[in-house]
Structure 1
Amino acid sequence: MSVNKESVREIIEAIGGKENINTATHCVTRLRLVLNDESLVDKDRLEDIDLVRGSFSTNGQFQIVIGQGVVDKAYKILAEETGVESASKQDVKNAAEQKMNPLQRAVKTLADIFIPILPAIVTAGLLMGINNILTQPGIFMDESVVEAFPQWADIASIINLIANTAFTFLPGLIGWSAANKFGGSPLFGMVLGLMLVHPDLLNAWGYGSAEEIPTWNILGLTVEKVGYQGQVLPVLVAAYVLAKIEIWLRKRIPDAFQLLTVAPISLLVTGFLAFTIIGPITFTIGGWITDGVTSIFDVVPALGGLIYGGLYAPLVITGMHHTFLAVDLQLIGSIGGTFLWPMVALSNIAQGSAAFAMMIVEKNNDKVKGLAVSSGVSAYLGVTEPAMFGVNLRYKYPFIAAIIGSAIAGIVITIANVIAPSIGVGGIPAFFSIPANLWGAFFIGMGITIVVPFVLTLLFSKFQKKK
């Protein structure tokens, strides 16, 4: 696809002119703009432009899908035509944040913390899936692969160690990312997170079965020596406190003394607070969150599957889906697995199936047909934004068809108690992160999200044409 000044000028006019652009940057595939007034955007005109493959607004940013290898050229022309200064992605995020309400800012904060560590978590999930294939019986034969071929046992053991590292030291990853987000030193945040899972502490997973809980006696105060393996809230709150203490100290201590004072004081104070106040309180709150989420699925599993399976895609539109990554990790740490993430994987597949159906519905429209194919493949591999915003939401009924298929599949796999001990790629490869004994139920759900949205989109298109 060629990029020329005329097509970029059309984009500028369709989004309300250069005066409507506050800040601009781009990522691998999209122009990411903060507009002064998004109501001035003529979406129909914008998406009729050959260069544009879709557009959507999220978290205060108006994003225009251009395509890899082309978007950087389009951005350079846009900058020349509008005179907008080149901005970093953080500048755009900061500008967008000014338009958000408190809830949106809270969701964005969680997203900014968890998205940077997501590749490590997904990689760990995939590797754990490979380990499951090697160690679980009944997949290829009655015995497991390592039982039938003992020479594979040590290879499986190394894979398991590599896979478990991200989850074993999850507070370290969260501490690094959270401290960075809150304005502190990422290194201090990582040390804080690792401190909470130190080997000298009683492992949190063995807390319930421990005969005796080791304690500290701190000036007459008894503090349990318990780690926070797999916990999310303790390190999030502690990292916030650490960052604020560090910022406060750096403003007041001369530069010459900061190396010797800021880190020791920050970590010492936060460490005491983490083990005496923050940890116990947030551990309890985390338990309440886990109990609250699981109670719906325990009492009426079908209802929980229907609600979450159907509502996940609409949550993506608002950006609130990022909050559930924290819930998934909390569930994995508390009960050993998450029943939410498998529905996320199926929701992604459903969006891809609906997009693929639009390839047939719009067979005479080369632009939509091409976008439907590429975005459908992307959704099947876990990235749904191109399918959702570029195709399904544009025509509305494919999005509804995808929600229906996802909700039905959610009911099926929830009733079957499908659970994932880790988070992997949220699409077709998701089964690698599901225990092999649950593959049958998950594959049924996957079949539903492949067939139902596809068929419903074709049927709905017939009614649309009759109107």
Structure 2
Amino acid sequence: MANDHTYRDTAADLLPLVGGAGNETSVAHCMTRLRLGLRDRSLVQEERLRAHPAVLGVVEDDTYQIVLGPGTVARVTPEFEALVERERERGAAGTPVTAEELAVQGAALRAERKARNATPFKLLLRRIAAVFVPLIPALIGCGIIAGLNGVLVNLGWLPGVTPALAAIASGFMALIAVFVGHNTAKEFGGTPVLGGAVAAVIVFAGVSHVEAFGQRLSPGQGGVLGALGAAWLAVRIEKWCRRRVPVSLDVLVTPTITVLGAGLVTVFGLMYMAGEVSTWIGDAANWLLDNGGAVAGLVLGGLFLPLVMLGLHQALIPIHTTLIEQQGYTVLLPVLAMAGAGQVGAAIAVYFRLRRNTSVRTTIRSALWPGFLGVGEPLIYGVTLPLGRPFLTAAAGGALGGAFVGLVNQLGTEVGSTAIGPSGWALFPLLDGDRGLGEVVAVYAAGLLVGYAGGFLATYCFGFTRTMLAELNVAPAPAAPAAGGAPADHAAPDGVPSRLR
């Protein structure tokens, strides 16, 4: 897709496949996925949706998520939103049922899904992730500029430009607490600018004149964790005021009490406490890899894919951000990125093991390059997870890659990332560490190779039982109706028999 017209065409193709404009309750996107709130998921034409050339995969969660890939999703989403608005203005609901019926069905689906999947802990993690995910593009952009500036400084090139690049790369990180405060207030139902105003106290240079717990504060103390807590407290105070302050005084009293109350608690309590927690997180992450080495990397790299499936990986986002804020890079992300390498190796092994299954091999060919670039959803949901055992052997490959990076870290070479979000080959421009860039890149590249090889060998040798191979290593045939009209248990369009799903 090379131009706006094509992105508009993609949006126009997708809208009827998800039930039309009347079926959409919300439209948003993250790094790789178009996230849709749907009234009735039964209206989604999932088989046709997955077959669309722009769609890399589909994920069902609290929102219906269509994987389009980085860059593409940011261009398709506004076209999709505009199309939804135009269709609504024309009165085209796009569904064969009334809005009332859709609302009832949607409420029932949401209630059922929440009862089954949405634990309070996972919901909290999703909300915290929603605070940080919008910051990822800025982290990536500034991280790449910082890496470019480091190369220019080391080479002695463009000395008149490098100070400007350093300022551009560092400006966002210097004020990241303000953005976290703004997003936190927005996510938890407060006024975003008040959350940002309270969090701004953390980075204000004048706090160095304030003493708390017997110590003078330093600008930035508490970082993103302090900003998260300060903005959440501001939301609670603001909501309390809204219920009690007369409407005629609300515009004056509520913002004043909110900023004053949350600001005092932040200065005389949260900054110090969050600073202690942030320091502990940084020390713990470094200690884990410095002392745990290969074992720590094995566990982190091996468990990351299951954590992604459970949604628990979102708990790591503020940890990564804290490490980047403290040290300039997170040492955890390159280790966790090995999980994607294991996934790629496993998919290549499946490709060679299922030589006759043209459907699965076609899926792998289309999803493999995004996998190399760190977009793993197409391989996870289209290949390894439906097959079962290859998902576990992919995790084993990630564990081996993580063990390698962890071992090298223990031996004295830290490998870190200056931003969160990318992995795979897309992480190379963001690498940093305590050694020269060439050495850091070499270690990460070697870790990817170990992950690829580990995932391939584990899957090739242990990813299939004889029964699975007998059933899967065949050319997919169209399902024929069995006696009584029941469908026979043939391979589905993706080549995976239904009983193996």
Aligned 8 A contact 2:294 2:404 in 1: yes
Please list the CA deviations of residues 190-219 of structure 1 after superposition, one character each: whole Å capped at 9, or x if unmatched.
2222221112334xxxxxxxxxxx4459xx
2:124 corresponds in structure 1 to 106
Distance apart, 1:62 and its partner CA? 5.7
Closer, same or farther in 2 for the Cα pair 1:107/1:31, shift >3 Å?
Answer: closer
Instruction: Give the TM-score taking structure 2 as reference length.
Output: 0.71
2:171 corresponds in structure 1 to 165
Closer, same or farther in 2 for the Cα pair 1:30/1:216, shift >3 Å?
Answer: closer
1:80 corresponds in structure 2 to 95
1:141 corresponds in structure 2 to none
Structure 2 counterparts to residues 30-49 of structure 1, below 5 A: 32=36
Distance apart, 1:331 and its partner CA? 2.3
1:236 aligns with 2:228: yes
Closer, same or farther in 2 for the Cα pair 1:340/1:222, shift >3 Å?
Answer: closer
1:226 corresponds in structure 2 to 218
- Whichever residue aligns with residue 115 of structure 1, its letter is V
Q: Distance in 1 between matches of 2:222 and 2:109?
A: 29
2:198 corresponds in structure 1 to 192
1:331 corresponds in structure 2 to 323
1:138 corresponds in structure 2 to none
Distance apart, 1:316 and its partner CA? 0.7
1:145 corresponds in structure 2 to 155
Closer, same or farther in 2 for the Cα pair 1:49/1:172, shift >3 Å?
Answer: closer
Q: 1:420 aligns with which of 407, 416, 419?
A: 416
Q: Distance in 1 between matches of 2:324 and 2:271?
A: 18
1:342 aligns with 2:334: yes
- Whichever residue aligns with residue 418 of structure 2, its letter is S
Q: 2:280 aligns with which of 281, 285, 288?
A: 288
1:259 corresponds in structure 2 to 251
Please list the CA deviations of residues 346-390 of structure 1 after superposition, one character each: whole Å capped at 9, or x if unmatched.
323332343355455556555544432333222332332222122
Closer, same or farther in 2 for the Cα pair 1:30/1:159, shift >3 Å?
Answer: closer
1:321 aligns with 2:339: no
1:207 corresponds in structure 2 to none
1:391 aligns with 2:395: no
2:442 corresponds in structure 1 to 440
Aligned 8 A contact 1:356 1:373 in 2: no
Structure 2 counterparts to residues 267-306 of structure 1, below 5 A: 267-306=259-298
Q: Distance in 1 between matches of 2:196 and 2:278?
A: 21
Aligned 8 A contact 1:357 1:457 in 2: yes
Distance apart, 1:335 and its partner CA? 4.5
- Whichever residue aligns with residue 147 of structure 2, its letter is G
Distance apart, 1:420 and its partner CA? 1.6
Q: 1:131 aligns with which of 139, 149, 155?
A: 149
SS at match of 1:154: coil
Q: Distance in 1 between matches of 2:169 and 2:423?
A: 17
Closer, same or farther in 2 for the Cα pair 1:66/1:215, shift >3 Å?
Answer: closer
Distance apart, 1:26 and its partner CA? 6.2
- Whichever residue aligns with residue 200 of structure 1, its letter is G
Closer, same or farther in 2 for the Cα pair 1:377/1:336, shift >3 Å?
Answer: same
SS at match of 1:338: coil
1:116 aligns with 2:134: yes
1:379 corresponds in structure 2 to 371
Q: Distance in 1 between matches of 2:11 and 2:268?
A: 59
Please list the CA deviations of residues 260-299 of structure 1 after superposition, one character each: whole Å capped at 9, or x if unmatched.
3322221111111101122222222333344444443333
1:201 corresponds in structure 2 to 207
Aligned 8 A contact 1:168 1:229 in 2: no
Closer, same or farther in 2 for the Cα pair 1:355/1:225, shift >3 Å?
Answer: same
SS at match of 1:157: helix
Q: Distance in 2 between matches of 1:166 and 1:230?
A: 17
Aligned 8 A contact 2:345 2:397 in 1: no
In structure 1, list runs of 5 or more residues that go unmatched. Answer: 13-21, 136-143, 203-213
Please list the CA deviations of residues 42-71 of structure 1 after superposition, one character each: whole Å capped at 9, or x if unmatched.
xxx96998569754443x456566998799
Q: Distance in 2 between matches of 1:370 and 1:257?
A: 65
Aligned 8 A contact 2:50 2:57 in 1: no
1:209 corresponds in structure 2 to none
Closer, same or farther in 2 for the Cα pair 1:191/1:380, shift >3 Å?
Answer: farther
1:410 corresponds in structure 2 to 402
Closer, same or farther in 2 for the Cα pair 1:23/1:310, shift >3 Å?
Answer: same
- Whichever residue aligns with residue 469 of structure 2, its letter is K
Q: 1:351 aligns with which of 335, 343, 350?
A: 343
1:16 corresponds in structure 2 to none
Q: Distance in 2 between matches of 1:280 and 1:368?
A: 54
- Whichever residue aligns with residue 326 of structure 1, its letter is P
- Whichever residue aligns with residue 444 of structure 1, its letter is A
Q: Distance in 1 between matches of 2:389 and 2:377?
A: 16
Instruction: Give the TM-score taking structure 1 as reference length.
Output: 0.75
Fraction of identical pairs, as percent: 23
Distance apart, 1:235 and its partner CA? 1.1
Distance apart, 1:336 and its partner CA? 4.6
Q: Distance in 2 between matches of 1:109 and 1:4?
A: 30
Please list the CA deviations of residues 142-170 of structure 1 after superposition, one character each: whole Å capped at 9, or x if unmatched.
xx322xx3xx1232322222111222112
Q: 1:175 aligns with which of 171, 181, 185?
A: 181
Aligned 8 A contact 2:131 2:187 in 1: yes
Q: Distance in 2 between matches of 1:381 and 1:63?
A: 19
1:17 corresponds in structure 2 to none
Closer, same or farther in 2 for the Cα pair 1:78/1:430, shift >3 Å?
Answer: farther
In structure 2, list runs of 5 or more residues that go unmatched. Answer: 1-8, 472-501
Aligned 8 A contact 1:34 1:92 in 2: no
Q: Distance in 1 between matches of 2:11 and 2:234?
A: 48
Closer, same or farther in 2 for the Cα pair 1:33/1:239, shift >3 Å?
Answer: closer
Distance apart, 1:112 and its partner CA? 1.3
Give the aligned CA root-mean-square deviation in angstroms. Answer: 4.4
Aligned 8 A contact 1:47 1:55 in 2: no
Q: Distance in 2 between matches of 1:94 and 1:50?
A: 26
SS at match of 2:415: coil
Distance apart, 1:92 and its partner CA? 12
Closer, same or farther in 2 for the Cα pair 1:4/1:248, shift >3 Å?
Answer: closer
- Whichever residue aligns with residue 449 of structure 1, its letter is G
* Count of residue pairs the alignment pairs up: 425
Q: Distance in 2 between matches of 1:368 and 1:65?
A: 18
